[in-house]
Amino acid sequence: MTPTIPAVSILLAGALQSIASASSATAGLTVHVSGTGTDLLSAALVHSRKATANGEVQKSTEIVELDGDLEGKVLYQVTTRIDNRRGTLINTGDQVFSGTIAGSEPVMLHDARFRFEVNLKTGADSGSVFLGDHIAGPRVRCRLRVTGTGKKPDGNPTFRYVGTCTFARR
């Protein structure tokens, strides 16, 4: 018996989804990504601290662990600006992601445009990530929105991320 058109469509859609998931190297493929992460703040290496009129500027190196569609680690060289008068903390700097994206081959990507903001009064934090500078592996660019979800008992911040990653055409 020959499957009906809807059954063939469902089978074909399922097969295409499996192919896209298994091989993210498909030319021009954009995938929606999501997952969680932990900033290993308790192990941060603080390089310098400088008092300012309203707070402090700190430069440090940290590691972030990512789970979900992005699976790997981020080495994060961060400049933290704390403004006690405004009640804000802003992180900028450079970061390199090393890992996989939606089951891809290993990739390394750099980002010098990220920005994370924390409201020191409420603890709410959010940010944007732009992993676009190719270092190794498949050519891919990711744009992510990050939202804080609290802290682990050891004080390390946790977060959720959502966004898109686009693999370059070959």
Q: Which residue has the higher pLDDT, 7 or 132?
A: 132
Query: b/e string for 143-163 if b means 16 or more Cβ within 10 A?
Result: bbebebeeeeeeebbebebeb
**pLDDT tens digits along 54-80:** 999 999 999 999 999 999 999 999 999
pLDDT for 93 beyond 90 = yes
Local structure of residue 22 (DSSP, 8 states): H
Would you state the pLDDT for residue 170?
67
Local structure of residue 28 (DSSP, 8 states): T
Pinpoint the alpha helices (H) of 23-161: none
d(CA 146, CA 91): 13
pTM of the model: 0.81
Q: Classify 5-167 by CATH class.
A: mainly beta
Would you state the pLDDT for residue 13?
38
Alpha carbon distance, N-terminus to C-terminus of the chain: 40
d(CA 21, CA 121): 41
Would you state the pLDDT for residue 11?
33
Would you state the pLDDT for residue 77?
97
pLDDT band (50, 70, 90) for residue 122: very high
Would you state the pLDDT for residue 27?
60
Tracing tokens 């944007």 back to the chain, one arrives at 128
